[in-house]
């Protein structure tokens, strides 16, 4: 993969280009958040409490007088961090197991598939509440719960892709060239199932961000006064009726934009990774 | 087979040019194609992949890819121009007047429906047969293509049948309404040689019975020579030689035809004597394509070959070749 | 001493397809391949030639039988080591395979040079990058692949170029026997000719033996010294290629030869095989497998089979009618 191919993909797909720029913006916010935020997110003197959007506080202030724009910017790091950690965890474990299950079949496949089915039977929120109740209300546990709930998707996609490629000519050829099974799995099959998985990863990131926000909305994981999009929407929910719409809207809108951007990014990512798309 | 009857041809194609509009440029897939087909005659269109033979067949039935545009030419069939017919008119023609069978027979059949029902669909659509007659007629169709135990096979699904059987079913489907023209696009590629012989034998005897004209598209020159009355050779979108099968095979005039024959395992006396054709097909997206698209690979190339559009010389009244330097 | 390079002895491979049903893919097959000899294996789809070639390539195990490999002083039974572990066997490199669909047999994420280099690393044990590069370029030269194409992915190569990469890869471990599974079936006629000439040339230059599995009889006639005709898991005829095609003795071989497209036979009624092939599942051990489709079927064909008998020098066939 090189920059020439990257530029080609972006030129061919204007939507991917837009998604990619928005994504870059978010990444910048995540990395440099505290530096570029105009106010300290925890500073309750950023402006008068519950004041509507002004030049001073472009997103308005919340009930504690904290600048919402700064909080939204800084929250990016936390939301992205949780989502990334959860997705990476489920991707690595799920695809490894799925790849092996699809290739070897037999009892390993049967057990993994039934495990995946069991996990899929649980709604995320119920599972997360269960994990939190058992292990404690920390960000870490919320990450584990989100990772667990995502596992079956990767397991299934990897299993299906691996199963198809198991019969491929190049796998037989690899055996003839001296590859034992484990090496075939790691070097030949796994890299080839990555392109279809990339779409999954991107969609999952969007979903994982939404989940992280949703869980903190109901009080699991991140707790106030940490700035986080879900909490901020929760805090602002009660103010909508009394007319202070900005407290919930801005964090909600940014959350929506982030998820949307990831969804659009999925196809572009696959084009980047798959060598067949290279001309 | 007798010599072509001296009457109006069933299908007369003149000056057909077709291009594909793609994101990476316009592909000039066919240029100035001209041939005619008489009733009861079998014409073999022979060429390598990329020669445009399938594109030509699809354009006859109006089932070309969405990006295809016919830029010139006519294809007169029964008094009407197939290339200018509306979709509605074409739908009446397909299956009833002109039928087509394809390569990979099993994929051309609907995998979740019984084959008998699929034949009935065609009969219902075109032959206005209804009710009890339908099953009888369908089983008749199966008998006509010599499928053993047709009543039982009526209830079979495509995956239960061999490749050869599936192709017979497709032939039954294609001939259900007794069309006057059958186009067969590589119908035996991928089948065993014994099955191939059986299918070709079936096709030629049915064509003779119904006095049906047929076009056989293939890359196998020997196959075309055995079963076809006339052969048309295509290269890179041009129809470069056309004539009676024996003549084209035994006395080819175009340099490409000669090379093709020399590189075919059938006719080569030994491996060492096979003379493969050098070079590659030209990129048909180029707007500066020379008038003769074989020029880059031809051992008889001269500067004059690129100076003027491709000529058409009649070696005999029935055998034409498009080459300045034909042998 | 004319010890064959490969002596296949009574190879059997059955597949379980149901509770009491066994599919007899390869049934008691024996054949020899001499050093530098090219043997053609022909038969219709379902006759077991693919299964046999995969057993000989040690990709799958036989149920019983031996594959004696003799090379100079070395002698071993390749069938003795299980296929699952054969990838790391010392003799993995002596028998290699070239596949029918070059497109499918190349890893889409590997550059051509990586595909060819892999057996050098794993089977030959080469480690030095420069030495590997030199050897890859040498192999590319042998198969007529321009060096600038080595840095390309499979989807950037033409059908003929992909076929060459497959052949170069197979030659990397300096095999003694190359099993070619319809290597030119997916290629255009003109490209086919080039690849066939290449194969003939390599055989002469490197002293390779070939097992050429194909259903294109013309190609087998041109390229092979001997031919083995299979039908439903059994060998029905074998002998020198030109001889078998010119004078086929077994009824199936006769039909096979008669079915080859021949412009000179125009207008003559063809000899067509009637009916469907017998089922390879739980076949009757007493009956001849071709009985039912054979134009010369007799009652005794269902009562006992006949083994291969010599009908001409080096030319064997298995049929009752030949015993009279």
Q: For the domain that residue C25 is a member of, what is the CATH number?
A: 3.40.50.300
pLDDT at A146: 86
Enumerate domains of chain A plus CATH numbers.
3-277 (1.10.3720.10)
- For the record, the structure tokens of B28 come out as 């000039």
pLDDT score of A211 more than 50: yes
- Do the domain assignments include residue C268? no
CB contact under 8 A, C189 and B219: yes
- Kindly state whether residues C193 and C292 are assigned to the same domain: no
Residues C113 and C250 occupy one common structural domain: no
C127 in the same domain as C211: yes
Q: C250 and C159, same structural domain?
A: no
- C-alpha dist (Å) from residue C140 to A123, B95, B136, C110, C150: 56, 51, 61, 16, 8
Angle, helices B193-210 vs C251-258, to 10°: value is: 60
Residue B144 has pLDDT above 70, yes or no: yes
Q: What does the alpha-carbon distance between residue B56 and residue A81 come to, in Å, rounded to a whole number?
A: 57
Over pLDDT 90: what percentage of chain B? 29
Chain A residue closest in CA terms to C119: A177
User: Where are the alpha helices (H) located in chain B, listed in sequence order?
Assistant: 53-61, 87-93, 105-108, 115-127, 132-144, 150-153, 163-175, 193-210, 221-227, 245-250, 255-262
Instruction: State the nearest Cα–Cα gap between C169 and chain B, in angstroms.
Output: 23
pLDDT at res. C165: 95
**In whole angstroms, what is the distance from residue A273 CA to residue A5 CA?**
10
Let me know whether C163 and C22 are in one domain: yes
- Is C66 contained in some domain? yes
So what's the pLDDT on residue C260?
86
**How distant is the Cα of C183 from the closest Cα of chain A, in angstroms?**
13
Given an 8 Å threshold on Cβ–Cβ distance, is B221 in contact with C189? yes
Domain match, C238 and C153 both: no
Tens digit of pLDDT for each residue in B81-133?
Answer: 988 888 888 888 887 889 999 888 888 899 999 999 998 888 888 777 777 78
Q: From the CB of residue B67, how many other CB atoms can be counted at a distance below 10 Å?
A: 12
Q: What average pLDDT does range A150-164 have in this prediction? A: 91
Q: How many CB pairs under 8 A join B and C?
A: 110
Helices A246-273 and A190-217 pack at an angle, to 10 degrees, of: 180
Residues A73/A59, Cβ–Cβ less than 8 Å: no
Residue B54, phi then psi, degrees to nearest 5: -70, -40
Chain C: give the shortest CA distance to residue A7, in Å: 20
Q: DSSP code of B151? A: H
H or E element, residue B16 = strand B11-22
Q: Give yes or no for A179 touching C (CB within 8 A).
A: yes
For position C211, what pLDDT does the model report? 95
pLDDT computed for residue A138 by the predictor: 83
Whether A149 shows a pLDDT value over 80: the answer reads yes
User: Quick one: C214 and C122 in the same domain?
Assistant: yes
pLDDT number for residue C270? 67
CA–CA dist C230, C52 (Å, integer): 10
Q: Quick one: pLDDT band at residue B1, thresholds 50, 70, 90?
A: very low
* Residue C104 forms contact with A (CB below 8 Å): yes
Q: How far is CA C213 from CA A203, C34, C51, C169, in A?
A: 47, 16, 11, 19
What is the domain range of residue C133? 6-224
Q: Provide the pLDDT for residue A275.
A: 60
Parts of chain C with a pLDDT under 50: 1
Question: Residue by residue, what is the 3-state secondary structure of C22-40?
Answer: EEEEEEEEEEEECCCCEEE
The overall average pLDDT reported for chain A is: 85
Total residues found in chain B within this entry = 327
Chain C residues touching chain B at CB-CB below 8 Å:
44-45, 158, 188-194, 196-197, 200, 215-219, 221-223, 255-256, 258-263, 265-267, 269-270, 272-273, 275-276
Query: Does one domain contain both C15 and C98?
Result: yes
Pair (C284, C203) in one structural domain:
no
The residue written with tokens 């170069």 in the block is C168
Residue C193 lies in a domain: yes
Is residue C266 domain-resident?
A: no
Unique residue bearing structure tokens 């879900």: A230
DSSP annotation string for A209-266? HHHHHHHHHTTSSS-TTS--HHHHHHHHHHHHTTT-THHHHHHHHHHHHHHHHHHHHH
Q: Which of A73, A95, A121, A82 is nearest to A210 (CA)?
A: A82
Contacts of B26 by beta carbon, 8 Å cutoff, 6+ apart = B19, B20, B285, B287
Q: Looking at residue C111, what is its pLDDT?
A: 94
Q: Tell me if C135 is assigned to some domain.
A: yes
Q: What is the pLDDT of residue B318?
A: 87
Count other Cβ atoms within 10 Å, centred on residue B286.
12
- Taking only the tens place, the pLDDT of each residue in B176-198 is 888 999 999 999 887 888 888 88
Mean pLDDT of A74-92: 90
Tokens of C217: 């009889």
Burial class (CB in 10 A: 0-12, 13-18, 19+), C78: buried
Mutate to test the interface with A, among C55, C56, C57, C105 (most CBs of A within 10 A): C105
Do C109 and A192 count as a contact with CB atoms less than 8 A apart?
A: yes
Confirm if B321 and B247 have CB atoms less than 8 A apart: no
Residue C114 lies in a domain: yes
> What is chain C's mean pLDDT, rounded?
88
Contacts of A106 (CB under 8 A, 6+ apart): none
Res A278 pLDDT > 90: no
Q: Does C57 touch chain A (CB under 8 A)?
A: yes
Chains that touch B (3 or more CB pairs under 8 A): C
Same domain, C167 and C243: no
Instruction: Give the gap in angstroms from C-alpha C101 to the nearest C-alpha of chain B.
Output: 13
3-state secondary structure of B183: strand
Between CA B290 and CA B301 the distance in angstroms is: 12
The predicted-structure confidence for B298-315, as pLDDT tens digits, reads as follows: 888 888 888 888 888 888
User: Does the CA dihedral B285-B287-B292-B294 come out positive or negative?
Assistant: negative
Q: Do residue C212 and residue C239 come from a single domain?
A: no
Non-local CB neighbours of C127 within 8 Å, separated by 6+ positions: C121
Number of domains in chain C: 2
At how many degrees (to 10) do helices A14-36 and A246-273 cross? 130
CB pair distance less than 8 Å for B219 and C191:
no
pLDDT greater than 60 at residue B3:
no
A169 neighbourhood in chain C, CB within 8 Å: 99, 101, 104-106
Q: What is the model's pLDDT at position C19?
A: 85
Distance from CA of B132 to the nearest CA of C (A): 29
CA distance A161 to A199: 13
Q: Which helix (H) or strand (E) holds C317?
A: strand C315-317
Cβ within 8 Å of residue C187, ≥6 positions away: C159, C160, C163, C195
C249 & C186 share domain: no
Q: Tell me the mean pLDDT in the region A167-195.
A: 90
Flag if C272 and B198 touch (Cβ within 8 Å).
Answer: yes
């Amino acid at each position: 993969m090189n920059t020439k191919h990257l530029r080609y993909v972006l030129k061919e797909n204007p939507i991917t280009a837009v998604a990619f720029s928005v994504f870059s913006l978010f990444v910048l916010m995540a990395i440099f958040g505290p530096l570029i935020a105009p106010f300290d997110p925890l500073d309750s003197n950023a402006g008068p409490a519950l004041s509507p959007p002004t030049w001073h506080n472009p997103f308005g202030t919340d009930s504690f007088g904290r600048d919402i724009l700064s909080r939204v910017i800084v929250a990016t790091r936390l939301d992205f961090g949780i989502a990334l950690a959860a997705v990476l965890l489920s991707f690595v474990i799920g695809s490894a197991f799925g790849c092996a299950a699809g290739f070897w079949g037999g009892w390993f496949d049967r057990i993994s598939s039934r495990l995946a089915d069991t996990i899929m039977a649980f709604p995320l929120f119920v599972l997360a509440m269960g994990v939190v109740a058992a292990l404690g209300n920390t960000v870490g546990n919320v990450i584990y719960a989100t990772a667990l709930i995502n596992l079956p998707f990767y397991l299934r996609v990897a299993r299906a892709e691996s199963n198809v490629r198991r019969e491929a000519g190049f796998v037989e050829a690899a055996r003839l060239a001296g590859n034992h099974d484990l090496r075939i799995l790691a070097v030949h099959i796994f890299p080839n199932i990555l392109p279809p998985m990339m779409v999954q990863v991107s969609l999952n990131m969007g979903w994982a961000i939404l989940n992280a926000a949703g869980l903190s909305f109901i009080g699991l994981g991140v707790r106030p006064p940490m700035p986080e999009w879900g909490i901020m929407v929760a805090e602002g929910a009660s103010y909508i009726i009394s007319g202070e719409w900005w407290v919930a809207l801005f964090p909600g809108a940014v959350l929506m934009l982030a998820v949307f951007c990831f969804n659009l990014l999925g196809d572009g990512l696959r084009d980047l990774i798959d060598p067949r798309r290279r001309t | 087979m007798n010599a072509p009857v001296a009457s109006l041809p069933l299908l007369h194609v003149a000056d057909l040019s077709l291009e594909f509009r793609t994101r990476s440029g316009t592909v000039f897939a066919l240029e100035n194609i001209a041939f005619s087909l008489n009733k009861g005659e079998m014409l073999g269109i022979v060429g390598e992949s990329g020669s445009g033979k399938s594109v030509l067949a699809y354009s006859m039935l109006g089932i070309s890819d969405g990006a295809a545009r016919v830029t010139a030419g006519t294809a007169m069939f029964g008094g009407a121009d197939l290339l200018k017919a509306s979709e509605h008119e074409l739908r009446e023609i397909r299956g009833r007047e002109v039928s087509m069978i394809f390569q990979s027979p099993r994929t051309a059949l609907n995998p979740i429906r019984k084959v008998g029902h699929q034949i009935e669909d065609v009969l219902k659509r075109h032959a206005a047969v209804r009710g009890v007659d339908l099953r009888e007629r369908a089983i008749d169709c199966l008998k006509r293509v010599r499928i053993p135990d047709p009543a039982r096979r009526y209830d079979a699904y495509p995956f239960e049948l061999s490749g050869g059987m599936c192709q017979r079913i497709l032939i039954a489907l294609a001939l259900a309404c007794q069309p006057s023209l059958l186009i067969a696009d590589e119908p035996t590629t991928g089948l065993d040689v014994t099955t191939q012989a059986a299918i070709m034998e079936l096709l030629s005897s049915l064509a003779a019975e119904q006095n049906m004209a047929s076009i056989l598209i293939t890359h196998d020159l020997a196959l075309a020579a055995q079963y076809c009355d006339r052969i048309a050779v295509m290269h890179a979108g041009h129809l470069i030689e056309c004539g009676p099968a024996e003549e084209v095979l035994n006395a080819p005039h175009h340099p490409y035809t000669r090379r093709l024959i020399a590189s075919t395992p059938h006719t080569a006396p030994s491996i060492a004597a096979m003379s493969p054709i050098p070079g590659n097909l030209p990129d048909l997206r180029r707007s500066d394509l020379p008038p003769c698209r074989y020029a880059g690979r031809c051992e008889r190339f001269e500067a004059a070959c690129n100076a003027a559009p491709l000529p058409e010389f009649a070696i005999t009244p029935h055998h034409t070749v498009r080459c300045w330097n034909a042998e | 001493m004319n010890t064959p390079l490969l002596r296949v002895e009574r190879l059997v491979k059955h597949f379980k397809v149901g509770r009491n049903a066994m599919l007899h893919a390869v049934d008691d097959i024996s054949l020899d391949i001499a050093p530098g000899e090219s043997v053609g294996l022909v038969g219709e789809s379902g006759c077991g030639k693919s299964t046999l070639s995969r057993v000989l390539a040690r990709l799958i195990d036989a149920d019983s039988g031996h594959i004696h490999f003799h090379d100079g002083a070395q002698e071993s039974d390749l069938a003795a080591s299980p296929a699952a572990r054969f990838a790391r066997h010392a003799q993995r490199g002596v028998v290699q395979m070239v596949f029918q669909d070059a497109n499918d047999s190349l890893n889409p994420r590997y550059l051509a040079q990586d595909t060819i280099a892999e057996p050098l690393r794993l089977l030959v044990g080469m480690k030095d990058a420069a030495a590997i590069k030199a050897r890859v370029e040498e192999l590319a030269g042998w198969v007529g692949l321009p060096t600038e194409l080595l840095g390309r992915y499979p989807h950037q190569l033409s059908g003929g170029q992909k076929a060459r990469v497959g052949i170069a890869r197979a030659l990397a471990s300096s095999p003694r026997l190359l099993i070619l599974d319809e290597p030119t079936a997916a290629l255009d006629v003109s490209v086919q000719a080039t690849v066939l000439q290449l194969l003939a040339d390599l055989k002469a230059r490197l002293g390779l033996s070939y097992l050429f599995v194909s259903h294109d009889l013309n190609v087998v006639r041109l390229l092979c010294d001997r031919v083995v005709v299979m039908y439903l898991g059994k060998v029905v005829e074998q002998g020198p290629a030109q001889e078998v095609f010119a004078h086929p003795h077994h009824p199936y071989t006769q039909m096979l030869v008669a079915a080859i497209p021949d412009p000179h036979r125009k207008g003559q009624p063809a000899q067509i095989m009637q009916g469907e092939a017998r089922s390879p599942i739980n076949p009757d051990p007493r009956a001849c497998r071709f009985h039912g489709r054979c134009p010369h079927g007799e009652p005794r064909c269902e009562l006992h089979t006949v083994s291969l008998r010599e009908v001409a020098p080096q030319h064997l066939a298995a049929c009752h009618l030949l015993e009279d």
